[in-house]
Amino acid sequence: MKNKQKRQSMIIIGAGMGGLAAGVYGQMNGYRTEIFELHTLPGGQCTAWKRQGYTFDACIHHLFGCAPGSPIYDMWQEMGAMPRELVMPQECTSVSTLDGKMFVDYYDSRKLEEHMNKLSPNDSKVIHDYVKGIQAFTKHDTMAAMFTGKKSDILKLLPGLFSIAKWMKPTMQQVADRFEDPFLQKAFPLLVYSMPDSPAFLHLARHGYGNSRNIQWPVGGALEFSQSIAKKYESLGGKIHYRARVAQIIVENDKAMGVKLTDGTEHQADIVISNADGRRTIMDMLGGKYVNDQVRESCGEPPDESMMAVSVYLGVKRDLTKEPSAMILLLDKPEMIAGHEHKNLEMQLFGFDKTMAPARKGVIKVELHSKYSYWKQLHEDRAKYKAEKDQVTEQVIAILERRFPGLRNQIEVKDVTTLVTWERYMGGTHGWTNMPKRKFTFSIIGNSGKEEYDRTLPGLANFYFCGVWATNIGALFMNAQSGKKIVQAICKEDGIKFAATTN
């Protein structure tokens, strides 16, 4: 049902990617918007920080939407993030043993096939099939069709659907089982963030994006990427209030009317959009009043164990320019680190972007599985918490020293983040894993915002979600897309034609 009178103002809680997008598109469509951000920087989890000349990037692994003309690129351009200087890594990722044997998953299909055939000539047939699969996905913008949900993008997939259909069902592990070579059997299922049960088509789609240069790296990293969007938002007349923590969403007659900050000040608006943690929004800012069974279930405890729960950053006096941009390091035997048994280490090696470190130096980021409860309990005793972070760092360094001899003496800076770090930084629950507790399923016809409770709450008018609570996945472009979609929905409710411009 359309409103009789167009609403004119929006308050957005949180300057994460979804909140920034909602602000940009809100301003483009004639709404007066303000963003209230508890931190001092825009971007939320899309951030980075400097230590003694090194930049430690917390977010971007693969940035989708780097090829002009693609739907995701168009969105980034509308938001002010494109065009920009980009770097094209030569590989999607790589897998290495401690003694240096390596499978490099090159984006270049010909180079990849030659490399894999050298590793395992007996697997040439399976290798060729894998490469053909990558080439099939290269021809189609599957991510845009799946996640933006536009019918026009979905229809574009239909002519090539047969060539990619065979890859829609198997997991990475099931594909890996087709190889004869023991090393490829061990390495292949880890290519998607060490998750063997990941759908193979997601990897092939990502690989296809790399082939078409639609995945690249934004020079300067995540924070500069976020700041470019914040700059565009402010140029459109939007206002970001930093160090402004929202304590309560003001409601009158079951309509969101504004927000009250922790300093006691109140701010009014016709619309409130939350890009903040959903549990805190629903249970704290709204007092748990606007829930049904689905919402209550979504607010349940998320999984305790998480990938990327701990990140160890090392600024090293070592040239990393010839190293892969991403590497999974296989261990000879499992090792207990941060309360979790690790058989391999996930890492990024920032030698490909010269802005991330001083000349002839680089950054290594190692990401570890762990449990939120493990670190939350440790954090109650700050001395024990620090000691465990130091222990984790020492274990990681000892392992890396075996793969990169001499590294220990080249380390100039160390830093460690945990899920508790992110909980404090983001003001949410369970660190960066603050997604709703509901099963996420991939669909070729689109995912984001399909269900009403993804974006709204029962019985509450003029209130909306964007960001991870609406998408249930951490992909950067999806969270941005959620901000755009919610403004599109608001424009439709208000009876106005949605507009977006790159000017």
pLDDT of residue 147: 59
Ranges 112-121, 163-172, 195-204, 405-414: which has the least confidence: 163-172
- Shared-domain flag, residues 486 and 396: no
CA 35 to chain centre: 21
Domain annotation covers residue 32 = yes
CB 220 within 8 A of CB 158: no
- Rounded CA-CA distance 170/438 in Å is 23
- Shared-domain flag, residues 112 and 205: yes
- Shared-domain flag, residues 333 and 402: yes
Instruction: Enumerate residues 6+ apart whose C-beta is below 8 A from 93.
Output: 105, 191, 324, 326, 327, 328
- Rounded CA-CA distance 469/447 in Å is 13
Q: What percent of the chain has pLDDT over 90?
A: 79
- Shared-domain flag, residues 180 and 248: no
pLDDT in tens, 300-347: 888 899 999 999 999 999 999 999 999 999 999 999 999 999 999 999
DSSP label at 339?
Answer: T
For residue 119, which of 143, 95, 152 has the smallest C-alpha distance?
95
User: What phi and psi values does residue 349 have, to the nearest 5 degrees?
Assistant: -120, 110
CB 427 within 8 A of CB 244: no
The token pair at 21 is 């997008």
- Shared-domain flag, residues 340 and 396: yes
Residue showing tokens 């001499």: 406
Domain count along the chain = 3
End-to-end Cα distance, the chain? 32
pLDDT of residue 6: 80
- Shared-domain flag, residues 140 and 168: yes
- Rounded CA-CA distance 497/502 in Å is 17
- What is the H or E stretch that residue 261 is in? strand 255-261
CB 431 within 8 A of CB 372: yes
CB-based burial label for 186 (10 Å; 0-12, 13-18, 19+):
middle
- In 3-state terms, the chain is what percent helix, strand and coil (to 5)? 40, 25, 35
pLDDT in tens, 129-183: 999 999 988 877 766 666 555 566 556 655 556 668 888 899 999 999 999 999 9
Confidence of residue 4 (pLDDT cuts 50, 70, 90): low
Q: What's the pTM?
A: 0.93
Given 178, 212, 246, the domain boundary residue is 212
> Whole domain around residue 133: which residue ranges?
104-186+196-212
- Its sign, for the CA torsion 154, 160, 164, 168, is positive
- Shared-domain flag, residues 320 and 411: yes
Find the mean pLDDT for residues 358-373. Answer: 97
CB-based burial label for 375 (10 Å; 0-12, 13-18, 19+):
buried
- Shared-domain flag, residues 346 and 309: yes
Which residues is 94 bridged to in the sheet?
A: 104
pLDDT in tens, 31-48: 999 999 999 999 999 999
- Rounded CA-CA distance 291/283 in Å is 9
pLDDT in tens, 366-375: 999 999 999 9
Domain annotation covers residue 75 = no
- Shared-domain flag, residues 335 and 291: no
pLDDT in tens, 78-117: 999 999 999 999 999 999 999 999 999 999 999 999 999 9
Pairing of strands 246-252, 255-261: antiparallel
- Shared-domain flag, residues 383 and 440: no
CA torsion 11→16→20→22, rounded to 10°? Answer: -60
One-character DSSP codes across 201-241: HHHHHHHHHHHTT-EEEETT-HHHHHHHHHHHHHHTT-EEE
Given 384, 419, 454, the domain boundary residue is 419
- Write out the E strands in 351-471: 362-371, 411-417, 463-465
Domain annotation covers residue 256 = yes
Given 150, 178, 212, the domain boundary residue is 212
For residue 12, which of 44, 35, 40 has the smallest C-alpha distance?
35
CB 87 within 8 A of CB 213: no
- Rounded CA-CA distance 409/412 in Å is 8
The token pair at 362 is 């680089």
Domain annotation covers residue 218 = no
| Domain CATH number, residue 488 | 3.50.50.60
Domain annotation covers residue 82 = no
CB-based burial label for 279 (10 Å; 0-12, 13-18, 19+):
buried
For residue 475, which of 95, 190, 159, 146 has the smallest C-alpha distance?
146
- Shared-domain flag, residues 472 and 324: no
Ranges 114-128, 276-290, 430-444, 477-491: which has the least confidence: 430-444
Residue showing tokens 């490829």: 184
- Rounded CA-CA distance 149/127 in Å is 32
- Shared-domain flag, residues 392 and 314: yes
Domain annotation covers residue 429 = no
Domain annotation covers residue 73 = no
Q: What percent of the chain has pLDDT over 70?
A: 92
Ranges 62-66, 141-145, 342-346, 359-363: which has the least confidence: 141-145
Domain annotation covers residue 84 = no
Confidence of residue 288 (pLDDT cuts 50, 70, 90): very high
Which residues is 416 bridged to in the sheet?
A: 312
182: three-class secondary structure by DSSP: helix
Find the mean pLDDT for residues 204-208. Answer: 90
